[in-house]
Structure 1
Amino acid sequence: MNPMPVAPAAIAQQAPAEFELSGCWTALGIGAIESQLESLSLPSVTEARVDCARIEALDTAGAWVLQKLLLRLREQDRVATLRGLRPKFAKLLEVVAQYLADPVDQPPAVPSLTALERIGRSAGTVFEQAVALLEFVGESAAAFAGCVARPARFRWRPILYNLRRAGFDALPIVGLLSFLLGIVVAYQGADQLRQYGANIFVADLVGLSMLREFAPLITAIIVAGRSGSAYAAQIGTMAVTEEIDAMRTLGIAPLELLVLPKIVALMIALPLLTVFADALGVFGGMLMAREQLGVGYGEFLDRFVKTVGVAAYGVGIGKAPVFAAIIAVVGCFQGFQTKGGADSVGRQTTRSVVQSIFLVIVADALFSIAFSALDL
């Protein structure tokens, strides 16, 4: 069915100071009105009269054009009076006139901030994030205590699934990077050790550096970029699509279903990955020691066993659960902080990786200070 025809808006100049408006002053009817406005002749009179009795329809677009016409007629101190305008059209014209006088959609002027104010706001944002993270840690600890009190609440299938994704699937990349790191450590130390005839001490260098520092740290960084980002992206997407709200509506605790399985699985997987990284890193250093320094496998292992004790091995393994808890908690926390759309998911995912790696390095530095004080 064809739409009803719309009578176009029109302006007729009956006398030098009298104008008659007709037709539909709407978005569909004012197409040709601009040319008519341009052709109006405005004599130097003190008063102009506008007859609006024949206006059939008026919307905001037509009211805007009509208000512009009145403003033009009122130039040079003229008085423009309307006659015959319907009451409902008059109200709409008043609203448009008020808008033109004081537009409501213009953004308020934002005062420029000084450097000190920017630093203060950034510090306030960091403090708020830290408080929110501590609250999230407390909620997760309370949920974990509740599951320990009632073991049936543990969701073992998600735990095993996350253990496979964060642990077993990460073996190739962790093993390769640890092997290459062991080669690099032995290669960099070979020239210095050869100058002093201390070739055999390459076992000390590779063993202590890999087991105490490099293996747990590189493993945690890889897992933070691989699994921590996945945690943030998964939970962030669920938050955007309101799946988490649906869980709460159904009576399912999101912390027990989404957070605890990831934390438990990663605290199991990361120490095992660290052991795997230790073995591959030492193996890489042993290969390089034979090629660059002529230290055989038997000599290397004999010196390695004498130098690297259980304490050095335990120091590296003991860091792993702490690193795992940091990575899982930060990744899940940033996922729950997601608001808006897909852009927010990407932003929180990036933030989770950066914060996880930063906190892991800070924790490693604190471990070094503590172990030095304990003479370990």
Structure 2
Amino acid sequence: MSAAPQPGRLIWDPASGAGRLSVEGDWTLAGFEALRREAGRFPAGAQVRAVDLSKLGALDTAGAALLVDLLGAERLPALIAAGPALDESRRALLATIIQAQAAVQAAQPPARPSPAAELLGRIGWAAEVFWKHGVGLCGFIGLTLETLLRSLFRPRSWRVTATIAQIEQIGLNAVPIVALLTFLVGAVVAFLGATVLRDFGATLYTINLVGFAFLREFAVLLTAILMAGRTASAFTAQIGSMKANEEIDAIRALGLDPINMLVLPRVLAMLVSLPALTFMSMLTGIAGGMVVCAWSLDIPPSLFLSTLRESLDVRHFYVGMVKAPVLAFVIAVIGCLEGFKVSGSAQSVGEHTTSSVVQAIFMVILIDALAALFFMEMGW
């Protein structure tokens, strides 16, 4: 016949000063409510130096968890070691409960920070990402320029066919959309200028407005933004797909340079295509303004062109054209760099394609704004 269950008890004598706690009776699920009340009567700030488990009866998971909560998972192993010896099965049960509670506490989500701390954290994270992108872009620009300089003295490494093919894809195929967009924008600028200047009786200055805007800013800016959205994304998708298919690793395994094979043809093609498209954008934008002036202001094309030639200096044309190679180089480098960052999945290709477009457009607008301020301050 089995012995009758003994209710669990805690024996604590604070007057003795020994700091020893005795645990007696059965600590099982059957008497869990009574055990919890018994544990609740134990003083919270008691200084326990050792635990006596020699009179401990039956022990299961529920009782062991209650003892661990009562004495603390950090202190319980040391308290048991300071008291009388405990059999291995019960010691293993208590150790298992301690490990399980530690795992649960580690898995709990951290406390949500305050809105101010979260905002500062997001700002810091964004600044760190921006800094890393800037450092990576500068490093890739240096690598591209180094490869370009080394290839100048090795004509056999020139990728003439690939460069011409990229010029066709980047430049010739983009002529219709660039011409149409700049023509419409030129018409809109002329229409707005005529609407505003009509109140002052100065509609003839619409010619100056259209010419000045397109020669200095609009032609190169609109063309660069279009190329950033159209070409930078194509560069990233092409190189990213090659990276995902391990074709770039195969190129390196053959002893070839991916920068020389993939980046330089695209960069050189962009350096040729964007200035040419910018020049075409200047012509089509001015043509759009000329059509609106002829239709809305009764200014014939001959008067439009003669006024444009007399009122605008050729330096405005140079200011617009000198920015085109810089923007072309930046757009091509960003598109290629984001392609090399692809990790290997289709999702990564899409993410870096989006990132290349955003970065390229941002850099185009930033460089154009800084150049405009510089040229204005220099009086050019």
Smaller-chain TM-score bracket: 0.7 to 0.9
The Cα shift of 1:127 comes to: 1.1
Hey, what does 1:139 align to over in structure 2?
143
Q: Which SS does the other structure have where 2:256 is aligned?
A: coil
Count of matched residue pairs: 298
Hey, what does 1:158 align to over in structure 2?
162
Query: In angstroms, what is the RMSD of aligned CA positions?
Result: 2.9
Say if 2:334 is the partner of 1:327: no
The Cα shift of 1:103 comes to: 5.7
Measured at CA, do residues 366 and 190 of structure 1 come closer, stay the same or move farther in structure 2, by a change above 3 Å? same
Hey, what does 1:199 align to over in structure 2?
203
- Decide whether the 8 Å contact of 1:162 with 1:261 is kept in 2: yes
Say if 2:125 is the partner of 1:125: no
Q: Which whole-Å CA distance do the structure 2 matches of 1:198 and 1:144 have between them?
A: 51
**2:193 counterpart (179, 189, 195):** 189
**2:299 counterpart (287, 295, 298):** 295
Measured at CA, do residues 77 and 200 of structure 1 come closer, stay the same or move farther in structure 2, by a change above 3 Å? closer
The Cα shift of 1:116 comes to: 2.2
**2:357 counterpart (340, 353, 357):** 353
Which amino acid counterpart does residue 290 of structure 1 have in structure 2? A
Q: Which whole-Å CA distance do the structure 1 matches of 2:262 and 2:365 have between them?
A: 26
Measured at CA, do residues 76 and 219 of structure 1 come closer, stay the same or move farther in structure 2, by a change above 3 Å? closer
Q: Which whole-Å CA distance do the structure 1 matches of 2:110 and 2:330 have between them?
A: 38
Hey, what does 1:271 align to over in structure 2?
275
* 1:31-42 equivalence runs, <5 A: none
Say if 2:204 is the partner of 1:179: no
- Decide whether the 8 Å contact of 1:143 with 1:256 is kept in 2: yes
Q: Which whole-Å CA distance do the structure 2 matches of 1:227 and 1:75 have between them?
A: 65
Say if 2:302 is the partner of 1:316: no
Structure-2-length-normalised TM-score = 0.72
The Cα shift of 1:75 comes to: 6.0
Which amino acid counterpart does residue 164 of structure 2 have in structure 1? L
The Cα shift of 1:210 comes to: 1.0
Q: Which whole-Å CA distance do the structure 2 matches of 1:132 and 1:161 have between them?
A: 28
Which amino acid counterpart does residue 148 of structure 1 have in structure 2? L
Structure-1-length-normalised TM-score = 0.72
Measured at CA, do residues 232 and 75 of structure 1 come closer, stay the same or move farther in structure 2, by a change above 3 Å? closer
Hey, what does 2:221 align to over in structure 1?
217
Hey, what does 1:341 align to over in structure 2?
345
Q: Identity of paired residues, percent?
A: 39
Hey, what does 1:40 align to over in structure 2?
none
Measured at CA, do residues 44 and 218 of structure 1 come closer, stay the same or move farther in structure 2, by a change above 3 Å? closer
Measured at CA, do residues 288 and 44 of structure 1 come closer, stay the same or move farther in structure 2, by a change above 3 Å? closer
Hey, what does 2:53 align to over in structure 1?
none
- Decide whether the 8 Å contact of 1:199 with 1:295 is kept in 2: no
The Cα shift of 1:369 comes to: 1.6
Q: Write the deviation string for residues 77-132 of structure 1: whole angstroms up to 9, x where unpaired.
A: 69xxxxxxxxxxxxxxx9xx79967669x856445452323322221222122111
Q: Which whole-Å CA distance do the structure 1 matches of 2:197 and 2:372 have between them?
A: 25
Measured at CA, do residues 111 and 165 of structure 1 come closer, stay the same or move farther in structure 2, by a change above 3 Å? farther
Q: Which whole-Å CA distance do the structure 2 matches of 1:75 and 1:366 have between them?
A: 70
Q: Which whole-Å CA distance do the structure 1 matches of 2:62 and 2:322 have between them?
A: 86
The Cα shift of 1:208 comes to: 0.9
Q: Which whole-Å CA distance do the structure 1 matches of 2:30 and 2:215 have between them?
A: 95
- Decide whether the 8 Å contact of 2:245 with 2:344 is kept in 1: no
Hey, what does 1:33 align to over in structure 2?
none
Hey, what does 2:258 align to over in structure 1?
254
Measured at CA, do residues 155 and 111 of structure 1 come closer, stay the same or move farther in structure 2, by a change above 3 Å? farther
